[in-house]
Amino acid sequence: MRVVEIKKQGGPEVLYIGSRPIPKPKNNEVLIKVKAAGVNKPDILQREGEYPPPKGVSDILGLEISGEVVEIGKKTKNIKIGDKVCALVSGGGYSEYCLAPYQQCLPIPKNISFEEASTIPETFFTVWFNLFIRSRIEKNKKILIHGGSSGIGTTAIQFAKNFGLEVFTTTRSNVKLIKCKKIGADHAINPKKINFEKFIKKKTNNQGVDFILDIVGGNYVQKNINILKRNGTLINIGWLTGSIVNVNLLMIMLKRLVITGSTLRVGSLEEKEKIAKDLKKNIWPLIEKKKIKPILCKTFPLNKVKDAHIYMDKGLHFGKIALTI
């Protein structure tokens, strides 16, 4: 089968099409003939050597796929050959065939294409886990979502809005600000032109927001602490501008803040199975009612994977990028 290989750590030029045997599913796994695979920031980081795959998982890039089940393990449940699914995987997505635990597979929602479906698992699992399971966001609260035009951002905006929160977001493009508002953001801020701390303090009568979802890191961390309400929660799931920061611990203590972070890739199978069940119960009906949708920006064929990574590296996308197989 065709797969994307990495010559060495580096830029998009290190990617090339190679060949490997089709894998065989273990007892609780299914083999999926891949129709499309989502492209995500962790793929870029793995390519660059900043985010190595956990021990025991495929070294092939790709954390989310869609396709058709062509073989099943002996202990799989509620899934059969021929089912059309999207799946969260720990690696192996950039290939013609990919293994996935059956517990991490979900049926493709009605009226959703394979390409769109391939961009659902990584961001939907991540956002649900961090906002609803770890942080327990609530209706009528205020949330700031940094990087609103990213895959995480476009998903988080839609989730938060549909569950009754007032949504603030940041993105560094005026065109993307408009798009963020179209998918549910109440307030969209270009931090290159407007100080988001001052903006949020003004809009909230100096009270601040209850939750912040941050993929930026760096000097945003202290700014986030400054604009969180008392008992607020800062959720860190990325470090685009740096993972090592200086913060005012006294402010965290006086405001009784919760600062948390996670990476989904190393989570347990049981944890991911719960997320999958939650998504099917709470989000799938909203997708089928067209209240939430995966935001697919652009697709590239597998042999143009270098171009897909260049496109992501340049930050040209709004929402997600997918590879078609």
One pLDDT digit (tens) per residue for the chain, 325 residues: 999 999 999 999 999 999 999 999 999 999 999 999 999 999 999 999 999 999 999 999 999 999 999 999 999 999 999 999 999 999 999 999 999 999 999 999 989 999 999 999 999 999 999 999 999 999 999 999 999 999 999 999 999 999 999 999 999 999 999 999 999 999 999 999 999 999 999 999 999 999 999 999 999 999 999 999 999 999 999 988 888 999 999 999 999 999 999 988 889 999 999 999 999 999 999 999 999 999 999 999 999 999 999 999 999 999 999 999 9
Let me know whether 161 and 250 are in one domain: yes
- The last residue of a domain, from among 245, 262, 279: 262
Q: Which domain holds residue 237?
A: 124-262
65 and 148 co-located in one domain: no
Q: CB neighbours of 105 closer than 8 A, spacing ≥ 6?
A: 30, 32, 69, 79, 83, 85, 86, 87, 276
Domain-ending residue, one of 235, 262, 289: 262
Pairing relationship of beta strands 84-88 and 97-101 according to DSSP bridges = unpaired
User: Looking at residue 242, what is its pLDDT?
Assistant: 86
Is there a single domain that holds both residue 34 and residue 112? yes
pLDDT at res. 239: 86
Q: Are the CB atoms for 63 and 43 separated by under 8 Å?
A: yes
Give how many domains the chain has, as a whole number: 2
- CA angle at residue 142 from 177 to 139, to 5 degrees? 115
**Boundary residue ending a domain (211, 239, 262):** 262
In terms of domains, do 165 and 183 share one? Answer: yes
Beta strand 84-88 with 258-261: parallel, antiparallel or unpaired?
Answer: unpaired
Going from the C-alpha of 171 to that of each of 191, 194, 209, 287, the distances in angstroms are 7, 11, 18, 24
Of the candidates 53, 69, 70, the residue with the CA atom closest to the CA atom of residue 105: 69
Q: Residue 95 is part of a domain; what is its CATH number?
A: 3.90.180.10
Contact between residue 164 and residue 180 where contact means Cβ atoms under 8 Å apart: no
How long is the chain? 325
Token pair, residue 33, equals: 């003939």
134 and 110 belong to one structural domain: no
**Which CATH number covers residue 141?**
3.40.50.720
> Residues 37, 116: contact at Cβ < 8 Å?
no
Shared domain for 133 and 229, answered yes or no, is yes
Query: Is the distance from CB of 85 to CB of 32 less than 8 angstroms?
Result: yes
**Are the beta carbons of 239 and 263 closer than 8 angstroms?**
no
Question: In this predicted structure, what is the pLDDT of residue 240?
Answer: 83
